[in-house]
Amino acid sequence: MGEDCLATVGCFKAMGVKIAGLDGEKLTIEGVGLEGLKESADILDAGNSGTTTRLLLGILAGQPFSSILTGMIP
């Protein structure tokens, strides 16, 4: 699994999404619904993934909690 995918997985896990199977061939994601995300206790790290950043900004904009998103500049 690539670094961009792992950054996305890490951010969603930090917001309470259950994700299993990272060490195998099958990834299982248990959705939490439109209003099921939780505020992360830590800063969300998108790594070097522009896609993760764009996806999260759109999703986080509609959430009733605050988030801090960081990433690396290549």
Mean pLDDT of 16-21: 95
Are 72 and 47 contacting, i.e. CB atoms less than 8 angstroms apart? yes
**Which tens digit of pLDDT belongs to each residue from 44-73?**
999 999 999 999 999 999 999 999 999 986
> Which residue range is the domain that position 63 belongs to?
3-70
Q: How many domains does the chain have?
A: 1
How far apart are the C-alpha atoms of 74 and 63, rounded to whole Å?
29
- Which helix (DSSP H) or strand (DSSP E) does residue 60 occupy? helix 50-60
Residue 53's nearest CA partner among 11, 3, 14 is 11
For the entire predicted model, the pTM comes to: 0.89
| Joined tokens for residue 36 | 């099921």
